[in-house]
């Protein structure tokens, strides 16, 4: 639903010899963008509160078999818009989103040669800006190949940066590196930067039919990065047909890194809901699954004696889930094709045939009888054509069984038998097809190893969450011993800016050393609870086994914590150090707070001024015990309760690798 508060459109100016500089600024005037077309060459620069952020940076394209589209351009038209509107999310971190921006659109045309036309639009918000190119319909640019996008980001300072390398085998599943931006080679986005009292994140919005943008350092002395579009196997970056619009190149800017997490820029730059009323099947919530026991070596995906997916085991999960506020149970390994080292061969998965020992009809029926749902699973092993050939049938099969949620994955270093990157236009197209097919059959999507999030969940509200991060799974079975304690207080400032993360928190049993002697979940138990608030996902897993939760007083927090919010506030934090989030339940007056630390102990004074002023709350506090330590004493925690007046301060005492989780129930 859209609430039009104020919309002003200035007249379009048609000029022959226009000024060569165009200014556009944020509603609060803090962010200023200058677009310059001097000598026919477009460039832009950005300042924040008077400080340079992006120095003059080139714009344009290299189109195959054509002259570069970046000089010899003149301005044909200039349009401006002032938009002040508000819209409501179907689900999310908050209910209402302000969409307030000032827009500048230029039509540029080559003065000679092919006389091609290129549109350039900048939208400037208080929390950042987006710009994109448009190729209108024209005679000399119809179906074409983009060999390079020449967009540059010339950073004003040698900012501190947090990044993961692009073009690597494990896709986005790396721990973030911290370095001066000049020492990056090529990085995925979001790339988060800090320095000179400013925090910045470069990413993209509305990646619909294009290659994803990575950032390549082309001049480390000058800190200049260029958009490096992930190519197809044949070297083509993008197959394009005019008319078309590129994704938005986004630059979020704030006073601090923690404030970046309160930005709605990416959602604002995506198109509104295209699916209409999805309330019959799109439901944020929590899930469990036959999953962690595979990752910790207690069971196997392959059929046989260790087979995790059995009717009996699924019913045990369902029985536990039904006694708690858990909406779904995932079963990995339920279908045929998991034998042996499935990730090393051509995929053999069949998506409508259950493995022996797993009666899917009975399990699905039993789940519904108990008031929840079975969650489907499509592991593709990166075999896209193998999957696409079955996709329609696979989703119809789920629909028939009453399954309204699927987890999927693309394990493999490249797609299509080692050919395509996971992040090129090939995958972007495939994944959109998945989301659209899922919508057709009334299914929510939770995707692993897929393309990064660029805010498409606004347009497709069945696209709930994704992994696209080094997840909890690495703590269970990774030969490199898993994630560092700072990982979960780092990636919300980077990967987390792009959208919901299926990190899969909630591990309560830290002793699985029998099968995994080198692995460890590097948190305390209290921090596991905090992650339900500090990491946003509308489908949030309770990752551990039912018997590890059974009778455990701390499970009450997982039971209570919602997965859909009317408000979310990143209160405090430093990248890779600590993070404190407050969120308000979308369906009650209750608030939740999560506070998480890296390997260092720290105290945080939580001022509860986010609560309804004048109100009294009963607060339940799940905190680290005195001797808690992620390495050798993770289970030490205490639960306390007290009454609190809104505005009071609580001291949260986090131990090494620890945290705190709080529930505020309005009285």
Question: Is 392 a residue of the active site?
Answer: no
243: preceding bond cis by omega (within 30 degrees): yes
Residue 127 or 293: the one with the smaller Cβ distance to ligand NOJ is: 293
The residue count for binding ligand NOJ (CB under 6 A) is 9
139-157 burial code (b ≥16 CB/10 A, e <16): eebeebbbbbbbbbbbbbb
End-to-end Cα, the chain, rounded Å: 32
* Comparison of 55 and 487: residue with beta carbon closer to ligand NOJ: 487
Rounded to the nearest whole angstrom, what is the least distance from the CB of residue 633 to ligand NOJ in the complex? 28
Q: Applying CB under 6 A, does 658 fall inside the site for ligand NOJ?
A: no
Q: What does the alpha-carbon distance between residue 55 and residue 45 come to, in Å, rounded to a whole number?
A: 5
Q: Which stretch binds ligand NOJ (CB under 6 A): 46-54, 87-95, 465-473, 574-582?
A: 465-473
Q: Name which of ligand NOJ, Ca ion, none residue 332 binds, using a CB cut-off of 5 to 8 Å depending on partner kind.
A: ligand NOJ
Q: Which stretch binds ligand NOJ (CB under 6 A): 155-163, 361-369, 466-474, 625-633?
A: 466-474
550 forms beta bridges with none
CB 309, CB 333: distance < 8 Å: yes
Task: Decide if 330 contacts 375 (C-beta within 8 A).
Answer: yes
Nearer to Ca ion, 124 or 472 (CB): 472
The 238-241 sheet, strands edge to edge: 61-63, 143-149, 238-241
Nearer to Ca ion, 100 or 448 (CB): 448
Annotated catalytic residue: which of 204, 420, 473, 620?
473
**Least Å distance between CB 473 and Ca ion?**
6
Contact between 455 and 266 (Cβ < 8 Å): yes
Q: What is the DSSP string of 471-531?
A: -THHHHH-TT----TTGGGTGGGTGGGGS-B-----------TTT-TT----S-HHHHHHH
| By the rule CB under 6 A, 409 interacts with ligand NOJ | yes
> 10 Å Cβ neighbour count for 448?
21
The rounded radius of gyration (Å) of the Cα atoms in the chain is 25
Q: Which of residues 297-336 bind ligand NOJ (CB under 6 A)?
A: 332
Q: Under the rule (CB under 5 A), what is the footprint of Ca ion?
A: 448, 467
Which of 218, 411, 615, 646 is in the footprint of ligand NOJ by CB under 6 A? 411
Q: Which is nearer to ligand NOJ, 265 or 299 (CB)?
A: 299
* Partner from ligand NOJ, Ca ion, none contacting 410, C-beta within 5 to 8 A by type: none
Give the residue nearest to Ca ion (CB): 448
473 lies in the binding site for ligand NOJ (CB under 6 A): yes
Interface with ligand NOJ, residue 453, by CB under 6 A: no
Question: For residues 582-641, which are near ligand NOJ according to CB under 6 A?
Answer: none
Among positions 352-391, residues that touch ligand NOJ (CB under 6 A) are 379
Check binding of 448 to ligand NOJ (CB under 6 A). yes
Cis amide bond preceding 190, omega within 30: yes
Pick the closer one to ligand NOJ by CB: 247 or 471.
471
379 binds, among Ca ion, ligand NOJ, none (CB under 5 to 8 A by kind): ligand NOJ
Q: How far apart are CA 525 and CA 530, in angstroms?
A: 9
583 Cα distance to chain centroid: 18
Site string for ligand NOJ, 85-104 (x = CB under 6 A): --------------------
Q: How far is the CB of 537 from Ca ion (least distance, A)?
A: 14
- Sign, CA torsion 421/423/424/427: positive
| Closer residue to ligand NOJ (CB): 342 or 549 | 342
Helix, strand, coil shares of the chain, percent, nearest 5, are: 20, 40, 45
Q: Residue 451: how many CB atoms within 10 A of its CB?
A: 27
Helix, strand, or coil here: 104?
A: strand
CA distance 202 to 470: 20
Q: Which residues are catalytic?
A: 473
- By the criterion CB under 6 A, which residues form the site for ligand NOJ? 291, 332, 379, 409, 411, 448, 467, 471, 473
């Amino acid at each position: 639903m859209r609430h039009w508060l104020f919309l002003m459109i200035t007249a379009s100016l048609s000029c022959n010899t226009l000024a060569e500089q165009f200014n556009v600024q944020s509603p609060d005037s803090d962010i200023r963008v200058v677009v310059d077309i001097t000598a026919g060459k477009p460039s832009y620069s950005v300042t924040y509160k008077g400080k340079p952020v992006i120095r003059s940076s080139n714009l344009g394209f290299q189109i195959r078999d054509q002259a570069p589209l970046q000089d010899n351009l003149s301005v044909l038209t200039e349009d401006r818009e002032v938009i002040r509107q508000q819209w409501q999310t179907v689900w999310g971190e908050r209910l209402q989103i302000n969409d307030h921006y000032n827009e500048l659109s230029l039509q540029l045309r080559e003065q000679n040669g092919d006389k091609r036309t290129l549109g350039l639009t900048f939208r400037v918000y208080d929390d950042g800006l987006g710009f994109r190119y448009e190729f209108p319909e024209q005679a000399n640019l119809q179906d074409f190949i983009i060999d390079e996008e020449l967009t540059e980001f010339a950073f004003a300072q040698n900012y501190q940066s947090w990044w993961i390398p692009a073009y690597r085998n494990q896709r986005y599943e790396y721990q973030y590196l911290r370095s001066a931006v000049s020492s990056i080679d090529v990085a995925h986005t979001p790339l988060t930067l800090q320095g000179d009292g400013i925090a910045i994140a470069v990413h993209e919005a509305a990646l619909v039919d294009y290659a994803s943008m990575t950032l390549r350092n082309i001049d480390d002395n000058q800190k200049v990065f260029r958009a490096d579009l992930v190519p197809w196997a044949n070297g083509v970056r993008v197959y394009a047909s005019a008319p078309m619009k590129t994704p938005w190149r986004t630059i979020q800017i704030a006073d601090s890194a923690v404030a970046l997490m309160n930005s709605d820029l990416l959602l604002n730059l995506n198109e509104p809901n295209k699916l209409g009323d999805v309330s019959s099947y799109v439901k944020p919530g929590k899930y469990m699954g036959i999953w962690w026991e595979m990752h910790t070596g207690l069971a196997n995906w392959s059929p046989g004696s260790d087979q995790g997916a059995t009717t009996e085991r699924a019913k045990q999960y369902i029985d536990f889930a039904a006694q708690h506020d858990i909406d779904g149970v995932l079963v990995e390994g339920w279908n045929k094709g998991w034998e042996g080292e499935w990730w090393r061969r051509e995929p053999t998965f069949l998506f409508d045939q259950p493995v022996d020992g797993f009666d899917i009809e009975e399990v699905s029926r039993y789940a519904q009888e108990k008031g929840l749902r079975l969650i489907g699973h499509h592991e593709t092993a990166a075999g896209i054509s193998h999957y696409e050939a079955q996709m329609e049938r696979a989703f119809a099969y789920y629909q028939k069984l009453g399954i309204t949620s699927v987890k999927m994955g693309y394990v493999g270093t490249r797609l299509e038998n080692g050919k395509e990157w996971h992040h090129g236009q090939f995958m972007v197209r495939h994944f959109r097809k998945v989301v659209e097919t899922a919508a057709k059959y009334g299914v929510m999507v939770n995707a692993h190893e897929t393309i990064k999030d660029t805010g498409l969940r606004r347009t497709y509200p069945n696209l709930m969450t994704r992994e696209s991060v080094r997840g909890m799974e690495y703590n269970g079975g990774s030969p490199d011993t898993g994630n560092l304690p700072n990982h979960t207080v780092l990636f919300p400032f980077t990967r987390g800016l792009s959208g919901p993360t299926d990190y899969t928190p909630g591990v309560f049993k830290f002793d699985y050393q029998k099968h995994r002697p080198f692995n460890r979940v590097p948190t305390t138990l209290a921090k596991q609870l905090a992650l339900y608030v500090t990491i946003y996902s509308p489908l949030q897993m309770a990752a551990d086994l039912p018997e590890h939760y059974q009778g455990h007083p701390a499970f009450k927090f997982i039971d209570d914590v919602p997965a859909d919010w009317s408000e979310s506030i990143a209160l405090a934090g430093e990248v890779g150090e600590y993070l404190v989030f407050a969120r308000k339940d979308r369906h009650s007056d209750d608030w939740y707070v999560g506070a998480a630390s890296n390997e260092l102990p720290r105290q945080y004074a939580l001022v509860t001024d986010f609560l309804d002023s004048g109100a009294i709350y009963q607060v339940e506090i799940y905190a680290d015990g005195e001797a808690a330590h992620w390495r050798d004493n993770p289970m030490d925690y205490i639960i306390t309760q007290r009454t609190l007046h809104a505005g009071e301060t609580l001291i949260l005492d986090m131990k090494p690798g620890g945290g705190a989780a709080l529930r505020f129930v309005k009285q």
